[in-house]
Structure formats: C-alpha cells, structure tokens
Structure 1
Amino acid sequence: MKTFVAAAAAAVTALTVTVPLPAPGDRRPDTYVVSREPGVRPEGIAVTPTGTMYVTSVSDGAVYRGHVRERELRPFLPAGTDGRTRAAGVRLDRQGRIFVAGWDTGALFGYAPDGTLLARRAAAGAALNDLAITDDAVYVTDSATGVLWRADLVGTEIGELTPWLSPADFPAVPGFLNGIVATADGRLAFAADQGTGAPGSERLYRVDLHRRTATVVAVAGGQLGADGLLLEGNRLYGVVNFPDGQDGWLFAVNLALLAPDGRTAQVVRQSRPAPLAQSPTTIARDADRLLWVNSQLNAAAPAPPFTVTEVPGLC
C-alpha cells in the first residue's frame, strides 16, 4: 500500500550484479494478467523458487495464483473469504504456508499450500501492510499506528499477533511503516518508513531481531523509504516514488548495497521510471529479472487488465 514520499531522485552509478539464470529454452511472458475484472487493484506479490506466483488485491482481498511461464493468473483465495476483504503483503515460509497481511481489516491470515485457512490473527486498529518471515516468527508492519507486530512460528503453530516494537521504540515515530525484509539468518530486518510525505521524512530502519531495537540506516545516493522491499545478500531493492519536476510523480526501483553490519547503505542504481497511473507497489525476484505489481492505486480511473510486469532497466 502506497503513500507519497517527496524526495528527489538521485544520480546513481552502474553496478554489475550476479543473478540467477533461467533454464535453457525457458520462455516467460513480460506481462502477466492478474485480473480482467474492474476494481481489483493488485498490491502484493510473492514468487516461489519453482515459479509459482501469488498476487493480492487490496480492493477486495482476493489472492491470485499463477506460474511465471503462464500469462494469466487465476483466483486462488476468493475475495471476502475468511473475512479477508483486503489484502496487501504476501509471503511464503519454508513450509510453503502463505501469509497475507489484511491491511485495514487488522488481520494476518495464514494458509496451507492448498488454500486451507490455518490461522486468522487480529491486530486491533491496525493497517497491516507488509511482512517478513524468519524461522521462528512473522513480523508485520502497521501503517496506521507505526507498530511492528510479531507472531511466533513454532512447528505448525502460528501464534497470536503481539505488538513487538511500539512507535516510541523507533528513533522517530514512523509516519507510514511499509516494506519489510529479514536477513537469511533471521538476525536483522529492514523496515521502510515512507514518512509523512514531507521531504526527508522517509527512513529505513535496521531492526535487530535479537536485541529488539531499531536504528536508522544511513542511506546515501538516494532514498529507501520504500513500499515493497527485496533483500538478496547485501543488495536491497526498494520501490520508491518521487516528484517528476512537473507537478507529478514517478515510481522506480532503487538498488542499494548494504554495509556488512547493515548500518549504512549506498544507492547504486535505479530502474527506468513508471508513471503515476501505473503506480507499482511491490517486487519479487524471478530468476534473472525483477517483477513489479502495477497497482493503479493512484490512477485517475483504474481500469483492467491489472498486471504484473518486468521492472525496466534493472535486474
């Protein structure tokens, strides 16, 4: 889910990045149709290592599923079921369970791979936006209150959502907590605050998951007050927005390199931009390319088809 961040686009330099290669002869569409129905407005995306794609709808809570070799996605979790009338972030854990952040329903939903509801966990008054999963917990950002929520994962059990970091536990009270990712070892998370919309109010936080602390990451060369985040080793990607200099807005993916301790980051590359009508939100990796969700959240008249496309000029 998006809010505008008024930060100028920064000049970035080239970087050679090693990424996975697709299988020989693998042909994949460059555009995926999430839905041809009106008013869907897709928001979150997850792509598994085997190529299964999940995309959420923030308008009605539907979750769509498809494969990276097939152009059309299909409804997987119908809109409104289990009280899931909104859906934002989506992630899978190592067991293949599907976790969906229910935005202003204030609920986190956990599903088995076949779509069976395993748990519905409530967070009163929350707007649950994005989530990160470690071996022992799921962490969820709350854009309404600035709380970082946590639910324990113990075997097959999904614990209750509890406030894990309060707004006062951050160096500054978050204006709009959004994207979040965790390191592979489960030691750190990085959470993006898109701020209040005022220039310079956006921040990236380094969250120590063992010490239960949050500190500001010193970001140079651009901004990482992002919507969707993607972390690959020391490479952190974030979907950002910025003024176009003509009273409008553009969207792009910034790529930053994190220091080994995660306390500093340098933005080194930016994708080609997308317009306000497209309003990309979140990103996922598919082998040698990045995919982003064209939400149309800020379009004057959102219209089908609603799509996922390749991020241009960045992999």
Structure 2
Amino acid sequence: MIRRRTAATVLLAAPLIAATIQPSAQAQHPQYHPRPTTYVVSTTPGDTPEGIEVTRNGTIYVTSVGTGAVYRGTVRNPTLKPFLPAGSDGLTSATGVHVDHWGRVLVAGASTSKLYMYDARGRLLAIRPAAEGSFLNDFTFTKDAVYVTDSAHNQIWRASLTRDGIGRLKPWLTRDKILPKPYFLNGIVNDGRNLLVGEQGQNVTYRVDLRTKAVSTVEITGANGILSGDGYLLEGRRLYAVYNAGGGKYVTRLAFLNVDSTQAHVLEDSLPAATNSTPTTVARDRNRLLWVNSQLDAAPGTPPYTVSVVPGLS
C-alpha cells in the first residue's frame, strides 16, 4: 500500500531519524541480558522431559516422563534445577504440570495413575488416585475444578479445587460418551464454558460443554481440516497445538476459534522442530512460545534435554 506524504509525516521525520541512531537498550543498560533461546532441563540419561509450565513471574517447571523428576528455573537463566527428585512420593513418571490459582504445583503422574499437588517449596499437599491402569496425561483448571485426560482409558477425570485443597478424582466423562470414540486423549484446555481436548489417534479436537457434558468435534477449516495435538495452549480465541505432522516433522499449529468454540480456522504453523527433538507441550513466555524437546521419537534420547523457543511463531 502506498501512503501519501503529508506535512505531519515531514514533521515527524526528524524525530524518527534521531530515534534510529539512539544506542540500543543493551548499550544504555549494561545490566540488560536477553533471555536464553534454549534451556537445559537435565543432563541425566533417560529423564525425557514432557510437560511445561511458565508462570507470569517467569518461573519454568518441566516434568520428566522417564523418571518423574520435576525441574524448575527462570526464563532469565539457561539452566533448570531439580524441584522434585525422581521418584518423590511415588512420582516415577510425570507429564502435565500447571500452577493453580493459589500458587500450588499440580503434576499429572502419567502411568502412576495419580495426580499430585505440591506447594511452591516442593512439600507434598495431596495425592489423588484415579483408577488403576490410568495414564493421567494433562489437565486444565476452571474456577472450581481440575479436569484431567486419561490416555489409557480415554476418559476425563474431575476433582473439585478450592483454596482449601483438592477433592477426590472422579470419572467425569467416560469413553462410551465420546464420539467418535477416542484412542488417545491428550492435550486439554478450557474457555470457561467448554473443554477443548486433543485426540491424537484420529487427529480431532473435541468440544465438551462443561455444563451439559455434550460432546462434539470442532469444525476445522484450513490445514486439511486437521487440528489435534499433544500440548495445547489457549489464549483468548487463539488455540496453539503441538502437532505431529508426520515423517518426524513437529510444528506448533495456531488456529482462531469462533465465539462458541465450535469452529476453528488454522492460521499458520511454526517452523519445524529439529530432527528427533519431538516437542510435546508449549507454554507462553511474554512475546514468545517455548516448547519441550522430549526426544520421545528417539527415546530415551541423548542428554542434554532441553526447552527451546518455538521457531517462526509467537
């Protein structure tokens, strides 16, 4: 688009030129340090990271599906440190991790079939078991509950959540109530009225009404009608999904939801992840996205295990 040159444009030209020759922020502030683009989670063989949470104050939590360890760090430091040692309280495998409204750290115990709750100092507050043989993968908070995907039984568990603690995990939506039948439920988020749940076996995203439990599939336009993923991130009406595009290619896919989350239009994909890095989940750090390089396609992978900036998408 060609813009006409106006008198105002001429008057603004000098200040704009002056602005371009000002010293950079780094030169003006010697203490300024850019945030790392890669974070070392662990150098322990077999740790295999999976879940990630980045809080508003820049704290990073990353789980290990291989050992159950949970690591913690800051977006300003390239190295994370142990928050929970491997096997703590029977936590021998860990996937989803999120901090709730009251600052407590919840961890999905994967094949342990349990959901764990800790305080910010790493002290155990509660363990909530699901059915034996469950694989608790990821979870999302509403104002009064937590909803957890079970990738083994392909159902959703629910527990009440208040300032005082967490209730018992109970089956909330079982596989027989979900069509098409799910084969691997994984990422889950909510918009306050609906759950959005990724089903990787059939590459669909379910929409589940929180009030009625009515299930439908989100209608997808663009990207050959495919939107599913491992980790999901919902920001307003922008839905990000870490998507296995096949052939060892992983991207973060961005879609825009309509008002009632019944439809989503795929806007763009990130650049592909590095070969064999196998990103699993994604989190927001200010103006950029971070994802976990789990190396699951080459498990147990080769240390160091890392988190890095999602390329080509923010």
Pairwise mapping of residues 1-315 of structure 1 onto structure 2 (< 5 A)? Answer: 25=32, 27-124=34-131, 125-183=133-191, 186-195=192-201, 201-222=202-223, 223-243=226-246, 248-299=247-298, 302-315=301-314
Contact 1:249 1:275 in 2 (8 A): no
Contact 2:147 2:159 in 1 (8 A): yes
Runs of 4+ in structure 1 off by over 2 angstroms are none
Contact 1:57 1:88 in 2 (8 A): yes
SS of 1:298's equivalent in the other structure is helix
CA distance in 2, matches of 1:40, 1:94: 28
Contact 2:256 2:264 in 1 (8 A): yes
**Normalising to structure 2: TM-score of the pair?**
0.87
Tell me the percent identity: 53
Q: Residue 19 of structure 1 corresponds to which residue in structure 2? A: none
Deviates further, 282-291 or 219-228: 219-228
Q: Residue 20 of structure 2 corresponds to which residue in structure 1? A: none
SS of 2:176's equivalent in the other structure is helix
Q: 1:259 to 1:282 in 2, by over 3 A?
A: same
Contact 2:48 2:299 in 1 (8 A): no
Contact 1:219 1:265 in 2 (8 A): yes
Deviation (angstroms), 1:187 = 1.8
Counterpart of 1:313, as a letter, is G
RMSD, aligned CA: 1.3
Gap runs ≥5 in structure 2: 1-28
Gap runs ≥5 in structure 1: 1-23, 196-200
Contact 1:31 1:307 in 2 (8 A): yes
SS of 1:168's equivalent in the other structure is helix
CA distance in 2, matches of 1:158, 1:292: 28
Deviation (angstroms), 1:313 = 0.2
Deviation (angstroms), 1:62 = 0.4
SS of 2:89's equivalent in the other structure is helix
Contact 1:276 1:298 in 2 (8 A): no
Deviation (angstroms), 1:26 = 5.6
Contact 2:248 2:276 in 1 (8 A): no
Q: Residue 8 of structure 1 corresponds to which residue in structure 2? A: none
Structure with more helix by fraction: 2
CA distance in 1, matches of 2:163, 2:89: 23
